[in-house]
Homo-oligomer: A and B are copies of this chain.
Amino acid sequence: MAHALSLAQNEIADDDALARDVLGQVAGRWSLGVLCVLAEAKGPIRFSRVLDGVDGITAKVLTQALRQLERDGFATRTIYAQVPPRVEYALTELGLELIEHVDPLTRWATRRAKDFRAARARFVR
């Protein structure tokens, strides 16, 4: 065993490793898009509205993405005991901060797109 006090499945001891893990998740195919829809909503928003807002996502994958955002503290999930069910999601303060910190990076990358394109055109192997 690697640790004196063993870790439960998926607990991460080191802050750097945890930060990398969280950012790695966020870098997935859908997380940022979902986060942006939550941000645009400026308040609680239902599951099916998010589903409409994120182009191309399926219900199953959206559920997974939302669970992960909830797990890491970027979104909240509120269930109303109604039939048919109502579940609302909202961005947290932490989620908003994440968006604000990711934004400059994506803006830079978009500004530099021409350079990426040129590099890829040059590249042969």
* B71, B116, B123: the one within 8 Å of A119 (CB): B71
Tell me if A118 and B67 are in contact (CB < 8 A). no
Tell me if A72 and B120 are in contact (CB < 8 A). yes
Main secondary structure on A side of the interface with B: helix
For residue A61, CB closer than 8 A to chain B, the reply is: no
Tell me if B73 and A113 are in contact (CB < 8 A). no
- 18 A–B contacts, CB within 8 A, in A order: A16-B110, A18-B117, A19-B112, A19-B116, A23-B105, A24-B27, A67-B125, A71-B125, A72-B120, A73-B115, A73-B120, A94-B112, A94-B115, A97-B108, A97-B112, A101-B105, A104-B104, A105-B105
**Number of A residues with CB within 8 Å of any CB on chain B:** 38
Q: Would A22 and B73 be within 8 Å (CB), given that A97-B108, A101-B108 are in contact?
A: no
Could you tell me which A residues sit within 8 Å of B by CB distance? 11-12, 15-16, 18-20, 22-24, 27, 29, 67, 70-73, 94, 97, 101-102, 104-106, 108-110, 112-120, 123, 125
